[in-house]
């Protein structure tokens, strides 16, 4: 199960809506082994595409050095799908390289950048196996 | 000649959980062969058809090796190598 606070949830949704119709992507970091998504980090989609996302390689190094220095790890890796459902694609599954992370997918296909609900789902992706999990949204992480 | 190589979580199964290992080589290619000699199986995760895999990033002293010669990029004692899988996907 993914436990996430409302503000972080809202920040991910806002990012996905803002970047629609391109895919938005980012990370929520937390202390290593804690499973607490504490630090929201919006990333630029270097692919700038409605069908693909990739962190810029320089940004990626910077991000991991920062997390390393803070003893953090990526607790959530999120991205949006802008025309398809919030389910990991074959490409998403093949490229999922963080076995400890919750992979969050947001779909903006219904309302795009406009007001309105999005699909927000979370998965574990390990060795090509996808397992959907429940999401528990809390006011603040206890 | 020792070069520190930072290993990402997903590849630590090859390094007995170590976050960083020491390796040798005058080029990135030689360094990867040396890694393979001590951590069997790791090379296949980095290289495909004789080239660096598209979704694996390798940095030498913070520079993406794609801009400094790829597998032929030169190394010297004390350099720091970081391996990071791309964070990428697509619908």
pLDDT tens for B35-73 read 999 999 999 999 999 999 999 999 999 999 999 999 999
**Between 3.90.1150.10, 3.40.140.10, 2.120.10.30, 3.20.10.10, what CATH number should domain A2-138 receive?**
3.40.140.10
Searching chain B, which residue's CA lies closest to the CA of residue A22?
B90
User: A77 by DSSP, 3-state: which?
Assistant: strand
Could you give the CA distance from residue B62 to residue A78 in angstroms, rounded to a whole number? 25
Range of the domain at B14: 3-85
Q: How far apart are the CA of A6 and the nearest CA of chain B, in angstroms?
A: 25
For the stretch B6-36, pLDDT in tens is 999 999 999 999 999 999 999 999 999 999 9
In CATH, what number is assigned to the domain containing residue B14?
A: 3.10.20.30
For the stretch A59-73, pLDDT in tens is 999 999 999 999 999
Quick check: bond before A21 cis, omega within 30? yes
Q: Is A43 on the interface with B (CB under 8 A)?
A: yes
Contact A55, B88 (CB under 8 A): yes
Could you give the CA distance from residue A19 to residue A88 in angstroms, rounded to a whole number? 19
- Window 4-63 of B, Cβ < 8 Å to A: 6, 8-10, 55, 57, 59, 62
Residue B91, domain member (yes or no) = no
Could you give the CA distance from residue B35 to residue B71 in angstroms, rounded to a whole number? 14
**CA-closest candidate to residue B52, choices B44, B41, B60:** B44
Q: What is the pTM of this model?
A: 0.95
Residue B90, domain member (yes or no) = no
pLDDT at site A104: 98
| Burial tier of B72 (Cβ tally within 10 Å: 0-12, 13-18, 19+) | exposed
Contact A108, A17 (CB under 8 A): yes
Cβ–Cβ below 8 Å for A61 and B89 = no
Counting the structural domains of chain B, the total is 1
Contact A43, A27 (CB under 8 A): yes
Q: Is A97 on the interface with B (CB under 8 A)?
A: yes
Residue B28, domain member (yes or no) = yes
Q: How far apart are the CA of A135 and the nearest CA of chain B, in angstroms?
A: 22
DSSP code of residue A55: B
């Amino acid at each position: 199960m993914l436990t996430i606070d409302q503000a972080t949830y809202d920040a991910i949704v806002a990012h996905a809506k803002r970047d629609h119709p391109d895919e938005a992507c980012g990370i929520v970091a937390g202390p290593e082994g804690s499973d607490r998504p504490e630090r929201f980090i919006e990333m630029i989609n270097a692919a700038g595409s409605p069908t693909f996302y990739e962190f810029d390689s320089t940004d990626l190094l910077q991000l991991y050095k920062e997390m390393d220095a803070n003893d953090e790890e990526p607790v959530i890796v999120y991205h949006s799908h802008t025309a398809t459902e919030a389910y990991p694609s074959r490409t998403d599954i093949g490229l999922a390289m963080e076995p400890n992370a919750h992979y969050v997918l947001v779909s903006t296909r219904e309302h795009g950048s406009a007001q309105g609900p999005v699909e927000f789902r979370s998965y574990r992706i390990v060795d090509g196996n996808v397992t959907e999990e429940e999401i528990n949204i809390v006011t603040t992480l206890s | 000649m020792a070069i520190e190589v930072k290993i990402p979580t997903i590849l630590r199964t090859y390094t007995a959980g170590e976050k960083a290992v020491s390796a040798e080589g005058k080029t990135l290619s030689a360094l990867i062969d040396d890694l393979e000699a001590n951590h069997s199986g790791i090379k296949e995760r980095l290289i495909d058809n004789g080239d660096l895999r598209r979704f694996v990033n390798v940095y030498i002293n913070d520079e993406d090796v794609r801009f400094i010669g790829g597998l032929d990029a030169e190394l010297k004692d004390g350099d720091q190598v970081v391996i990071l899988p791309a964070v990428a996907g697509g619908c």
